[in-house]
Amino acid sequence: MRPDLSVVIPAYNEAARLEPTVREAVEFFRGRSQSVEVLVVDDGSRDGTSELVNRLAVEFDEVVLIRQAENRGKGCAVRTGVLNSRGQMVLFADADGSTPIAEVDRLVAAIEQGAGVAIGSRSMHGEGVHVSAKIHRRIIGRVFHLLTSFLTVRGFKDTQCGFKLLRASVAHDLFSRMRMNGFSFDVEMLVMARRGGITVTEIPVTWTHKSGSRVSLIRDGLRMASDLFVIRARMLRGDYEQRRVALIDLGAQNRDAESVVAKESATYGLSLRPRASLQDTTASPGATSAAI
């Protein structure tokens, strides 16, 4: 049966921070009798992330591990999770649980009112919303926001909050055509949505800084700024008006069995791990295709 919601959690070396986030998501939706699948995409971790998720998958049927053979970036990890998702809506959230899963209700309300995409924002005020962020992150975030508005897409206060909800049809359409593998994928998604006439609603959410972030503000910040010029060039060439569909093998013969093995492009070098299984499955070049 198709779940009400898919939660996609990208994870790179998150063995120390991931478990509370996964447990919170499963228990939250169980408490409301809503069906959910929690797809954790291990982006080539070198710690015990996969082992942790496999253990949680034995405890919770809702949990699925998808393991990439090597580190490709957050954008690639989220894209892989979205293209594997089955839910009627798709939420992607950070592994550290910086935004409580209960905040999803704010985004669901926007989707129910007609939005195709609802994005969490740390830069908007709202009743019951609290944001705790380091001052240097606020400054760098502001600079990136100004550059984003100048080069790519305007009208959003916070493009980078890692808490976003999409209608399933919109999610699969956008992510099957996205190209950015790094942290700038959020901007690319919003550019494509805006140019495609999809309604995007920005919603204030609670967000708390958690220690142990994998983001280097200098190295990754410079890389993200460079990515904005790449996105800008693709906009000018009209790349985002072209259909670029990644074919997905939904594994119909086993769709309701133990695993969800939807294969992304062999170009991504994915190694997909079925739920609670110790045997890896490598994407076959003949099964799927997607250009980068």
Nearest of 76, 29, 37 to residue 255 by alpha carbon: 37
Give Cβ neighbours of residue 125 (< 8 Å, ≥ 6 apart): 204
Per-residue pLDDT of the chain (292 residues; tens, 9 = 90+): 899 999 999 999 999 999 999 999 999 999 999 999 999 999 999 999 999 999 999 999 999 999 999 999 999 999 999 999 999 999 999 999 999 999 999 999 999 999 999 999 998 888 888 887 667 667 777 888 899 999 999 999 999 999 999 999 999 999 999 999 999 999 999 999 999 999 999 999 999 987 766 666 677 778 889 999 999 999 999 888 776 544 444 333 233 333 333 333 333 333 333 333 322 333 332 222 222 2
Q: Check: CB of residue 95 under 8 Å from CB of residue 174.
A: no
> Among all chains, which residue has been given the structure tokens 């992330």?
49
Q: Check: CB of residue 107 under 8 Å from CB of residue 120.
A: yes
User: Model confidence over 154-164: pLDDT tens digits?
Assistant: 999 999 999 99
Give Cβ neighbours of residue 196 (< 8 Å, ≥ 6 apart): 173, 174
| φ, ψ of residue 239 in degrees (nearest 5) | -60, -35
**Tokens matching residue 25:** 């998501």
- H or E element, residue 90: strand 89-93
Is beta strand 89-93 parallel, antiparallel or unpaired with respect to 163-167?
Answer: antiparallel
Q: Check: CB of residue 174 under 8 Å from CB of residue 166.
A: yes
- Interatomic CA distance for residues 109 and 123, integer angstroms: 19
- Interatomic CA distance for residues 7 and 257, integer angstroms: 19
Q: Check: CB of residue 13 under 8 Å from CB of residue 45.
A: yes
The whole-number pLDDT of residue 219 equals 77
The angle, 0 to 180 degrees and rounded to 10, between the axes of the packed helices 219-237 and 185-195 is 20
**Tokens matching residue 76:** 């690639």
Q: Which fold has domain 5-282?
A: Spore Coat Polysaccharide Biosynthesis Protein SpsA; Chain A (3.90.550)
Residue 68's beta-bridge partner residues?
43, 270
The reported pTM is 0.81
User: Model confidence over 86-141: pLDDT tens digits?
Assistant: 999 999 999 999 999 999 999 999 999 999 999 999 988 888 888 876 676 677 77
Give the CA angle between residues 88, 91, 93 to the nearest 5°.
160
- Interatomic CA distance for residues 195 and 228, integer angstroms: 16
| φ, ψ of residue 103 in degrees (nearest 5) | -65, -10
- Interatomic CA distance for residues 14 and 50, integer angstroms: 9
- Interatomic CA distance for residues 86 and 251, integer angstroms: 12
